[in-house]
Structure 1
Amino acid sequence: MTHVTVEEHTVADRVAGPYALTTGPDGALWFTLVQSGRIGRLVPGEEPASHRLDPDCGPTVITPGPDGALWFTETAADRIGRITIDGDIDEFDVPTPGCGPFGIAAGPDGALWFTETAADRIGRITIDGDVTEFPLPVTGAFPSAITAGGDGGMWFTLNQATAIGRIDMNGAVTLHSLPTKEAAPVGIAAGRDGALWFTEIAAGQIGRITPDGQITEFPLPDRAARPHAVTVDEQGTAWFTEWGGNRVGTITPDGSVTVHDLPTPRSEPHGITVGPDGALWTALEIGALARIAPVGSAT
């Protein structure tokens, strides 16, 4: 079993709600503060900073764009935001009112792709702010996280439809139903072997899907852990957060699972990413980012 060290770095007060985070092109961690309407920035070893948005806009997921800026969803405001590494902010309305944009990721076509949780659509926004929306062939599906696959398509979770979807660059959609009913998939990330990893928050499982739709599900030791987000490190190991279990875990391509407790009880880990220092970082809703590194790695 790999042993890890966990360090918590306070970045906001306990009600600000750090939710998602990513590594920016400037070597900093960028994160959303969903409850306070801010975008935060942390260089490991330095003091955190943040940039103010509309306090009620609900920034959720954030990702690097192809233009050297960071792009994020404003779920409560039905907008897509863009922030440069200098802190300049642009915001773009999504045409469908009440659509609830959530997941966002850069695509292979030089645009950003995002999910619309309340409108059963996948959206695409160019770096100039032009938005196109593609309807899904299901209703009430609650499309959630999205990521670029290694096959030239975008893959996403359908939380309420218990399925994984794929959309190509022309808007054609393919859906793959999960074996476990009401599994409620949320997070998704591309692996190093062409497959994708995803979390099943209601089933307490981690799933893996190949580009041709072959699905394998791996039960977690704690089926009530409520796995939420997932990312993949350079070695191809998938790391995930257990929102209900107050842990982070790893799963190897052969399905071997290891979990690690977080030091603060009920810290509510959400997003997780590989940081600029090569360690894993997760956003804790209690107002902190946690750094997770194997024992003996650089700090």
Structure 2
Amino acid sequence: MPAKTPSDKPDSITTGPDGNLWFTTGPGNSIDKLTTAGTLTEYPLPNLQSGPDGITVGPDGNLWITEFDGDMIAKVTTGGVFTEYPIPTPNTAPSSITTGPDSNLWFTTTNHVVTPSNPLVGRIGKVSTNGVITEYVLPNPQSVAGDITAGPDGNLWFTEDLIVGSAFVGVIGKVTTSGVFTEYPVPPNSLPQQITVGPDGNLWFTDSGSNDIAEVSTGGSFIQNPLPTSNSFPNGITVGPDNNIWFTEVGSPPRVGELVLSPSVHLKVAKFFTDSSLNPLPRDSNGNPKVDVVLANGVVTSTNPGQVLAWINVTNTSGSSLQALKLNDTLPVDWMVSPAWIPPKGSVGAIHVFYANGTSLASETEITQPSTITVSTGNPETVQLAISNFTATTIGHPLMPGQSILLSVKLTYGLIHTSQSASSFPRNYTDTAAGVAWTQASFTGVESSGTGSAFFIADAKVVG
């Protein structure tokens, strides 16, 4: 669809809170709204030559834009009413803008007028929804920040060009919501352009210098994916509805490309058993963990140990962070959750979830949320754990590569006070667990799975 004003050159675009498409037009000096039926409405900015550039939807339900030439951040209602907020530092040329995890708007600045009295100083800024602006100078002032996005780790991530002599050196930067920076130099010859969060929990960016689509983990590790055609000049980037990486190329001819992601997230699920004092179960002559079942006159009176703790250790063995997890633990036949699990509050001491950051089972950090746990009836019983967002738990962050959580379930023998034949022992009791993890909250993003099982032997000890 052609622009309404011939001089318009559409730039950044976003879906508005009203369901329409909103985009900036630099030369046209307007914000334009396009309905899905094709009706176009222009809203001129209050001041001439403002140079609207980046656009995003704010947490307040308004559109927020950067004015590259006007050195302002503007708020635009869906009715086209503007409120402009001047940036305290002049000639900063704000460019990209995004909503941060702290509900502020974060933006990059590029310093479009460089003079001896106004030297190049790279900055990242934030503006509250009531217009209070804070600026943070980059660790190396001789740099230019480009695109910015909210990362999966609760920080803001941005592309950056560092000026070294007469050359540019690419950098990917991270800034906390309190303004603390970390910079990761990209591989040689790279020039990062735009950046987005991938479904795998990594940051993905276009690299026009090395002609590739690159990814960086939240720990600063890079992987480059070269494009098949030279001089493609990749620029824009986003995640498609198919959970793959889509990007634009501004080379000749211009193209749109797709990078298909293969699930690379791995989940290790391991099972083991202890007694209620967290000691490993004793071993039989074959080296298998065992429980003694005490029989008196053909009736089960007790077990030794009296209770068994069934444990699941789930470890993120990938290079990506995990935000959501579902576990399904099928308990050994005849062994029951004790005390019985009564929703929604559960039962004291029966089931626990831990973040495995301690030096022993007794020192792990508990993150149990009873509402995330369900127990099925029947024999065998099944315990289900569903954590929709690790960041919302006591952990406060995703499950990072190499990190683990533990699920413990206290079991009591369900055949106590029943008649059993000593000749029917030993019996093999197996516990099987299956886990599925996702790289994004609410069980979305790239998915992986893992299973684990373990068993113990129950042998009869006849007394009386």
Give, in angstroms, the shift of residue 296 of structure 1: 6.9
Query: 1:166 is matched with which residue?
Result: 126
Deviates more, 1:241-250 or 1:162-171: 241-250
Between the aligned partners of 1:263 and 1:219, the Cα distance in structure 2 is 24
Structure 2: stretches of 5+ with no match in the other structure: 112-120, 162-167, 265-445, 447-464
Contact 1:208 1:215 in 2 (8 A): yes
Rg (Cα) greater in structure: 2
Of residues 80, 87, 93, the one that matches 2:31 is 80
Q: What SS is found at the alignment partner of 1:113? A: strand
Q: Give yes or no for the alignment of 1:225 onto 2:190.
A: yes
> Any idea what the Cα deviations from partners look like across 1:214-262, whole Å, max 9, x if unmatched?
100000112x422111111233211111123221111111011111111
Which residue of 243, 252, 255 corresponds with 1:288? 255
Contact 1:183/1:203 (8 A) holds in 2: no
CA distance in 2, matches of 1:267, 1:82: 31
How far apart, in 2, do the equivalents of 1:55 and 1:289 lie? 25
From 52, 56, 81, give the equivalent of 2:2. Answer: 52
Residue 70 of structure 1, aligned match among 16, 21, 25: 21
Q: Distance in 1 between matches of 2:125 and 2:263?
A: 39
1:194-273 alignment, distance < 5 Å: 194-201=154-161, 202-222=168-188, 224-273=189-238
Tell me the distance in 1 between the aligned counterparts of 2:46 and 2:210: 38
**What one-letter code is carried by the residue in structure 1 that aligns with 2:224?**
V
The residue type paired with residue 213 of structure 2 is: V
Deviations 1:201-221 (A, max 9, x none): 343000001101110000011
Partner of 1:137: 88
Kept in 1, the 8 Å contact 2:193–2:206? The answer is yes
Q: Deviations over 1:6-30 (max 9, x none)?
A: xxxxxxxxxxxxxxxxxxxxxxxxx
Quote the sequence identity (%). Answer: 39
Match of 2:141 among 181, 192, 201: 181
> Residues of 2 paired with 1:144 and 1:245: CA distance?
23
Q: Is the 8 A contact 1:184 1:203 kept in 2?
A: no
Shift of 1:263: 1.8
Task: Give TM-score, length-normalised by structure 2.
Answer: 0.52
Between the aligned partners of 1:206 and 1:264, the Cα distance in structure 2 is 24
Unaligned 5+ runs, structure 1: 1-50
Q: Equivalents in 1 of 2:198, 2:145: separation in Å?
A: 20
Aligned residue in 1 for 2:60: 109
The letter of the residue matching 2:259 is I
Q: What is the CA-CA distance between 1:184 and the residue it aligns to?
A: 0.6
Where does structure 1 differ by over 6 angstroms across 4 or more consecutive aligned residues?
none
* Counterpart in the other structure of 1:35: none
Matched residue of 2:219: which SS?
Answer: coil
Paired positions, count: 247
Higher RCO (CA 8 Å, separation ≥ 6 residues):
1
User: Residue type of the partner of 2:151?
Assistant: G
The answer to whether the 8 Å contact 1:195/1:209 transfers is yes
Which amino acid is the alignment partner of residue 60 of structure 1?
D
